[in-house]
């Protein structure tokens, strides 16, 4: 894990805060949560922390949705459903916000079943729905954070847009000089 006082955490917090504010999202708790997701996902183990029964990371959102089902799927409890749904919300927000060009988070590089499942999964809908389900866990130890997940569900598209604009800034930071084609003199 990235240490709490690491410069990367501060960088993502400032970046998300600025771009969310430009989109009219002035929610300190949401900004902190999303910047923490970005920081944590710098670690591959965090990005791919949902695992199947054999301990293999699940990288396809369609597979994660199946994994989260406590009634017809392999989730042994509603706590597992919440854990996986929270990750689906984070994962889809991360990929649609920062890597929209990859489509369904790289489905093209995975197995046939994963490709098929992710080809029919709407990442925005899966993320919004997952955060909504997490928000419904609103008792006991989850009561305090449930309203945050409701807001993340309701503002999912605006969060994605804020991350899209942050991504453009990151691209500009990486490639500050725009290469321009010289005009030929005629």
Taking the C-alpha atoms of residue 152 and residue 12, their distance in angstroms, rounded to an integer, is 18
Mean pLDDT score of the chain, rounded to an integer?
89
pLDDT at 182: 54
Segment 55-92, tens digit of pLDDT? 999 999 999 999 999 999 999 999 999 999 999 999 99
Which tokens belong to 117? 């499942």
pLDDT at 149: 98
Q: Helices 28-40 & 7-22, crossing angle to 10 degrees? A: 130
Segment 5-54, tens digit of pLDDT? 999 999 999 999 999 999 999 999 999 999 999 999 999 999 999 999 89
- The confidence band for 155, taking pLDDT boundaries of 50, 70 and 90, is very high
pLDDT at 115: 53
- Domain map (residue ranges) of the chain: 7-174
pLDDT at 161: 97
pLDDT at 172: 87
Give CA separation, 120 vs 33, 123, 141, 168, 186, in Å.
28, 9, 34, 27, 52
pLDDT at 170: 92
């Amino acid at each position: 894990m990235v240490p709490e006082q690491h410069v990367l955490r501060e960088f993502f917090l400032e970046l998300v805060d600025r771009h969310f504010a430009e989109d009219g999202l002035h929610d300190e708790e949401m900004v902190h949560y999303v910047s923490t997701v970005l920081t944590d996902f710098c670690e591959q183990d965090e990005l791919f922390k949902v695992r199947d029964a054999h301990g293999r990371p699940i990288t396809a959102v369609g597979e994660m949705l199946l994994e989260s089902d406590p009634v017809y799927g392999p989730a042994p409890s509603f706590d597992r459903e919440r854990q996986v749904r929270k990750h689906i919300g984070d994962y889809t927000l991360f990929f649609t916000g920062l890597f929209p060009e990859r489509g369904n988070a790289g489905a093209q590089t995975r197995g046939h079943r994963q490709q098929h499942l992710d080809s029919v999964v709407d990442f925005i809908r899966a993320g919004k729905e997952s955060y909504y389900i997490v928000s419904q866990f609103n008792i006991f130890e989850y009561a305090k954070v449930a309203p945050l997940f409701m807001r993340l569900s309701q503002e999912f598209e605006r969060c994605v847009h804020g991350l899209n604009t942050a991504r453009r800034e990151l691209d500009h930071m990486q490639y500050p000089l725009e290469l321009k084609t010289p005009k030929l003199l005629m």
